[in-house]
């Protein structure tokens, strides 16, 4: 059985986490932010160390351990009843993050919509990340060179995921708006899916 899934897509700082958290609080939606799953690892565990090594450089963690960890997270949440695959829609944020991951998840996900949060002002994104660094104590947001490298990684490795899924499922949403307006645009489309 494949999981009914919506993908939140966009550059670092576009607001995927903000929207994902809100959507995940609606009954029958389950939010999974891949970055949060990584950040919840113990920093002295093998994968925790790998995560710190890659994320502090602004690079993606290698695909195989990423997908394994993700499966593990979903299975745990299914077993504890937080995620109910037969009645819930998965809201994914930060995964798949390159076409290889999309391929690896093809037999697992039934993607019904992709919300592409588009921000026209790169400098706005950078400012949002720098504010978040202070609030959430994130090392990868604290350094401007790492932020810029993350944006390049997004352009080079993550954006091609859009081509993988094609245009039919894609809904472009302006991320330059307030979070409430972004949510409104997502929900307007979501009720039709």
Round to whole Å and give the CA distance between 70 and 64. 10
Closer by beta carbon to ligand ADP, 6 or else 94: 94
In 17-146, where do the E strands start and end? 29-33, 89-93, 109-118
Q: How big is the site for ligand ADP, counted in residues (CB under 6 A)?
A: 18
Q: Which of residues 97-126 bind ligand ADP (CB under 6 A)?
A: 97, 101
Backbone angles phi, psi at 114, to 5 degrees: -125, 120
Which of these ranges, 30-38, 74-82, 84-92, 118-126, lies near ligand ADP under the rule CB under 6 A? 30-38
Round to whole Å and give the CA distance between 49 and 43. 6
Residue 159's Cβ-side half-sphere holds a number of Cα atoms within 13 Å equal to: 9
Q: Which of residues 48-87 bind ligand ADP (CB under 6 A)?
A: 54-55, 58-61, 66
Whether the CB-CB separation of 175 and 14 falls below 8 Å is answered with yes
Rule CB under 6 A: choose which of 8, 74, 95, 125 binds ligand ADP.
95
Whether the CB-CB separation of 67 and 105 falls below 8 Å is answered with yes
Instruction: Check binding of 146 to ligand ADP (CB under 6 A).
Output: no
Closer by beta carbon to ligand ADP, 125 or else 190: 125
Q: What residues line the site for ligand ADP (CB under 6 A)?
A: 12-13, 34-35, 38, 54-55, 58-61, 66, 94-95, 97, 101, 140, 150
């Amino acid at each position: 059985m494949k999981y009914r899934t919506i993908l939140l897509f966009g550059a670092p700082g576009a607001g995927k986490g903000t929207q994902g958290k809100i959507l995940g609080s609606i009954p029958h939606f389950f939010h999974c932010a891949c970055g949060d799953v990584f950040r919840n690892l113990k920093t002295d565990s093998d994968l925790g160390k790998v995560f710190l090594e890659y994320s502090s450089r602004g690079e993606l963690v290698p695909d195989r351990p990423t997908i394994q960890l993700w499966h593990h997270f979903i299975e745990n949440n299914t077993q504890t009843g937080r995620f109910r695959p037969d009645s819930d829609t998965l809201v994914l944020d930060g995964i798949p993050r390159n076409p290889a991951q999309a391929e690896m998840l093809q037999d697992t996900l039934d993607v019904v919509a992709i919300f592409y949060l588009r921000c026209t002002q790169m400098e706005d994104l950078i400012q949002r990340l720098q504010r978040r660094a202070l609030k959430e104590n994130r090392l990868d947001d604290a350094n401007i060179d790492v932020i810029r490298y993350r944006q390049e990684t997004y352009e080079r490795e993550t954006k091609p995921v859009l081509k993988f899924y094609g245009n039919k499922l894609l809904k472009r949403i302006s991320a330059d708006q307030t979070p409430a307006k972004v949510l409104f645009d997502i929900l307007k489309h979501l009720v039709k899916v």
